[in-house]
Chain A
Amino acid sequence: MSRRKFIVRPGLASVAVAALMLAACSAKPGDDAKTADQAANPPAAPADARPQPNPLKNAYFGDLHLHTRNSFDAYIFNVRASPDDAYTYAKGGTIKHAMGFDLHMDTGPLDFLAVTDHSEYLGVLQSINTPGTEFSKVPYAKDLFSSDTAQVNKAFRRFADSIGEGKRMAEFSDMAVTRSAWQDEVESAQRNNEPGKFTSFIAYEFTSAPEGRNLHRNVIFSGDKAPDMPFSELDSQNPEDLWRWMDQRRAEGIEALAIPHNSNGSDGTMFMRTMWDGKPIDKAYADLRIRNEPLVEVTQVKGQSETTPLLSPNDEFAGFEVMDWYIGTAKKITKFQGGYVRDALKTGLEIQDKIGVNPYKMGMVGASDSHNAAGPYEENNYFSKIGVMDGEPDRRGSVPPPNYKSWDDYKVPDGISRFSSWGSAGLTGVWAEENTRASLYSAMRRKETFATTGPRIRVRFFAGYGLKGTELTSDAGVKAAYAGGVPMGGDLVGKATGSPDFLVMAMRDTHSAPLQRVQIVKGWTDASGKAFEKVYDVACSDGGKVDPKTQRCPDNGASVDLSTCAFSQDKGDAELAGAWTDPDFDPKQNAFYYARVLENPTCRWSTWDAIRAHVEPSPHLEKTIQERAYTSPIWFIPTKAG
């Protein structure tokens, strides 16, 4: 490839430019409003092309957390892809990475997407980089887009500090740019919604992180009604204020839910026992919170937030894609309790025992949080998350830099270790009648959702009395399970006698590995009000039987060839079904149960990177992982004795 330079004689060009400016300026007024009307209501797909709703529900897969150039940080990472580009990618198209290469999903289009740009300084960085705008006159504009990294870091620090403190910089007090960027987000979502085929949600991210402790939330709107402006952490860092704002919007007919994410980076502050003011959680708080936050993002690029080996020492599968750093800083997490979902589900039961409401009764979703307008859901098609920062293997620690021949002499900097600790993106699975906003949103509201770590594993999960013998392999069986039990996300009200049956069935993604086992994770509180957890295997591959002493399947012996990433073809199952009753069931105890499905081991993205670069995989990183799916819990509600 050659670099071409043109030698031009200046002089005439300036005349032409001036003439054009004049011509263009006269045509300019009113252009902001140009597409609003046309874009607002795309015609629905013709009726014959739209599939009939399925009362027994289909699994739809999508991403509820994705950034584009409208996010202040994505823009600094050189991402220039727009919300429209994000939809193009999600619908199976090809877009460009900030470093110039093509991005395309090998495993087919998504069914839905929410573009969730940071509401703080939404669109502002692009405005600073646009000549002639007011914001382009800020004195550090040139530094922000300098080729000197130190200058960029220094100038960009202003934004980070401002968001850290929750105070808007005075020079950006004019909100016109953000208002216009928000319009862009809304219109793009409206344009790209194709009922029956592809669902877009109007959405944004609330980016509160007091003292760097991550309290971020994504706000997802149910329909085509959006507020004039998003409520950002520059309005208040206190999530309680966000929920109150959501309540107010709801009263005006604008329905939304908020999804907390990266509790793993909250240093124990996401799921506390106290409120913002430090007092213990009361009923009003618990009601406010659970009314607005029925879901939690349990897995994404910045690690999984289900649990860690520290919190769940008896769960030998907990050590998966653990990300123990603060968000955006090479600083280690010190407090894990309050930062993980399983722990929060348990805390929720404890609080419920005391005050009668469970503030942490959350269903599971997964997402990417990619800032590339495109999620890296596939281990063998990984491009990480933040544009030029981690777009090449040596920038994310999977391959040593060019001047190092091996790993021996290379001390990986903390900043890069942080990127290495990231995993490929997750997805949300939703059981819904059809692929429309109304159907998907109401499924999210009732928590009939599951999270996966990328592969499109499908999993059904029901609990009910007298479900024994019901098979989820036929329409009749699924119908019986809905009729006689509750699906994931539901409440199972206890009966005076007997023990509920749990039905779980999982199906592999044909583009990933076969399934190894299905587990049920139980949490409960005892008479003293203290919460406990236990993991039970309930379905084993390859004809294995659960050992009643250990509650574990035998090892199925699946392996991976680390020189090619080929995995065992004769191990694991395409489908796994489990019918289970809780051997430790106590009808007086509050409890939750959720299913976790594990694949056979496959290569981690970092191993794929190394193989392609013909180097040894990093000795600091796991070479293989077990991809998985987590269902929303079913909560067991005991009937009050007497």
Chain B
Amino acid sequence: MTEASGRTGGLLTKAARLLGRAVREPLVQFLAAGLVIFGVNDLIHGPDRGPPGESITVSQGQVQQIAQSYRLLAGRLPSKAELDALVDDFVTEEVDYREAVAMGLDANDTIVRRRMRQKLEFLLEDADASSEPTEADLKAWLDAHASQYRLPERRAFRQILASGDKRGEAAPSAAADMLKQLRAGADPSRLGDPSMLPAAMPLTTEQGVEALFGDAFAHDLFAHEGDGWFGPVASPFGDHLVMQTSREPGRSASVADVHDRLRNDWIEDRRNQRRIAFQSKLRKRYQVRIDWPEPYASQSAAPDATPAGTTLGTAAGPVESVAPLSPGGGLPEE
């Protein structure tokens, strides 16, 4: 259990980040479409943008890059004529790009915006990717988050079953009777009904006991203090008499116990910290004003609202599917 919850913290941030990255869907497409039509019209018929003068230089390096890209796709370098066409296309792309940016098309295109954010975040992650925690980092991280890495309590026990299959409603009283015999010194190996359940379990976590004996039995076992046989303890198999043979209290983990988890969580956290710091630094350059429409304007902030800029991804709002594919559309494989 401790293991699971320890992981969950890092995971949620991760999931939130993924969602934040993936889910930015259009509300403005209608608006953008109008703008494009207006802009293109302006470009074709509209006022001249002023005297020519903006220069475009395609450097040797860029030409090389174009040639190499072609080689990756085609498996060979382009001929001079092919390269000429490719470079010309590059120039056209550059011109179109500059015009489009000048028209502000990039600002209102959700896909462009999303991709730019994605790109920024990838760059940030890459920039940070080389950092490896030292042993001291891991120790410090463990000390600061000891409860997340606590190793759960384990108990070893023996059990004797009065089978519900065999005895039905008489199982509890049969178990109670066996308990009397045990306390009078009877040999435990001669008592109880045959079962696939192990007569003795080695040191096992509560979760491990649940997997075999069920949740209620595991709970009762771990709630019990004291030596000797006790019971009956009920399970879907019937009623058990139980004796704990060994207990290992939960303890704080050492670095060696959980080295890999520490490393992964440390890296994850560092990335998050960097991102948050970067975002809030960027955010300082802007004055953000939000004109809430009705009915939101008159509503008070939701209790779970987090101040923007402090935790990434929480401002994503309702989850949308990026591409709401129609089921039955016949997408193959699976």
Contacts and interface: CB of A to CB of B under 8 A. Distances in A.
Most buried by A among B7, B75, B212, B321: B321
A330 B257 CA distance: 50
A83 to B, nearest CB: 13
A388 B315 CA distance: 22
A614 B308 CA distance: 38
Interface in B258-310: 259-260, 263-264, 278, 282, 285-292, 296, 299, 302, 308
Contact of B302 (A1, A369, A508, A541): A1
A620 B330 CA distance: 21
- Which of B27, B122, B290, B333 is the most central at the interface, judged by chain A CB atoms within 10 Å of its CB? B333
B15 interface: yes
Contact of B15 (A27, A96, A174, A514): A96
Interface string A92-131: 1111101110000000110000000010000000000011
A13 to B, nearest CB: 7
A146 interface: yes
A510 B236 contact: yes
Given A1-B318, A20-B124, A328-B334, A508 B236 contact: yes
B333 A327 contact: yes
A54 to B, nearest CB: 9
Interface stretch (A72-80, A354-362, A519-527, A560-568): A72-80
Contact of B317 (A2, A73, A94, A109): A2
A173 B4 contact: no
B195 interface: yes
Contacts of A330: 328, 330
A396 B334 CA distance: 14
A438 interface: no
Given A5-B27, A73-B332, 6 more contacts: A28-B126, A49-B151, A145-B322, A149-B326, A388-B321, A507-B197
A3 B317 contact: yes
A475 B194 CA distance: 11
A385 interface: yes
A108 B317 contact: no
Interface string B146-171: 00000100000000000111000000
Contacts of B213: 510
B329 interface: yes
Given A51-B202, A575-B165, A12 B285 contact: yes
Most buried by A among B197, B236, B285: B236
A171 B319 CA distance: 34
B18 A96 contact: yes
Contacts of A20: 120, 123-124, 278
A88 interface: yes
Interface in A560-589: 573-575
A29 B282 CA distance: 26
A78 B322 contact: yes
B99 interface: no
Contacts of B328: 330, 413-416, 418-419
30 contacts: A6-B288, A12-B285, A24-B127, A34-B130, A43-B256, A73-B331, A80-B22, A91-B4, A100-B23, A100-B321, A109-B4, A130-B122, A131-B115, A134-B73, A157-B332, A160-B333, A163-B332, A164-B332, A174-B73, A207-B333, A328-B331, A389-B331, A456-B211, A458-B196, A460-B196, A471-B194, A507-B195, A510-B212, A574-B164, A574-B238
B69 A94 contact: no
B11 A118 contact: no
B11 A3 contact: no
B127 A23 contact: yes
Interface residues of B, number: 93
Interface string B112-136: 0001101110111011011010000
A152 B203 CA distance: 53
A7 B278 CA distance: 19
B202 A52 contact: yes
Contacts of B23: 100
Interface in B91-113: 107, 111
Interface in A371-395: 371, 385-386, 388-390, 395
B308 to A, nearest CB: 8
Given A13-B285, A100-B319, A173 B75 contact: yes
B257 to A, nearest CB: 6
Interface string B245-256: 000000000001
Contacts of B263: 38
A635 interface: no
Contacts of B323: 76, 78, 145-147, 149, 152, 388
Nearest to A45: B257
A7 B260 contact: no
Interface of B: 3-4, 7-8, 11-12, 14-15, 18-19, 22-23, 25-27, 69, 72-73, 75, 107, 111, 115-116, 118-120, 122-124, 126-127, 129-130, 132, 151, 163-165, 194-197, 199, 202, 207, 210-215, 235-238, 256-257, 259-260, 263-264, 278, 282, 285-292, 296, 299, 302, 308, 315, 317-319, 321-334
A191 interface: yes
**Closest 8 A-B residue pairs measured CB to CB?**
A415-B328, A100-B319, A510-B214, A473-B194, A328-B332, A160-B332, A24-B123, A73-B333
A496 interface: no
B22 A147 contact: no
Nearest to A514: B236
A156 interface: yes
A419 B215 CA distance: 33
Given A34-B129, A38-B263, A328-B334, A4 B290 contact: yes
B301 to A, nearest CB: 9
B286 A473 contact: no
B18 to A, nearest CB: 5
Contact of B333 (A1, A16, A45, A72): A72
Contacts of B318: 1, 3
B125 to A, nearest CB: 9
B126 A24 contact: yes
Contacts of A25: 123
Contacts of B308: 4, 6
Contacts of A45: 257
A8 B211 contact: no
Contacts of B197: 507
A252 interface: no
Nearest to A459: B196
A42 B260 contact: yes
A278 to B, nearest CB: 26
B107 A4 contact: no
A547 interface: no
Contact of A31 (B119, B126, B215): B126
A378 to B, nearest CB: 14
Nearest to A477: B194
B326 A16 contact: no
A90 B144 CA distance: 27
B67 to A, nearest CB: 13
A469 interface: no
Given A77-B325, A130-B122, A575 B196 contact: yes
A46 interface: yes
Contacts of B118: 130-131
Given A96-B18, A108-B211, A88 B7 contact: yes
Nearest to B289: A7
Interface string A4-41: 11111110110011001101110110110010001000
A93 B195 contact: no
B110 to A, nearest CB: 9
Contacts of A497: none
Nearest to A173: B75
A528 interface: no
Contacts of A1: 302, 317-318
A415 B324 contact: no
A505 interface: yes
Contacts of A289: none
A564 B186 CA distance: 45
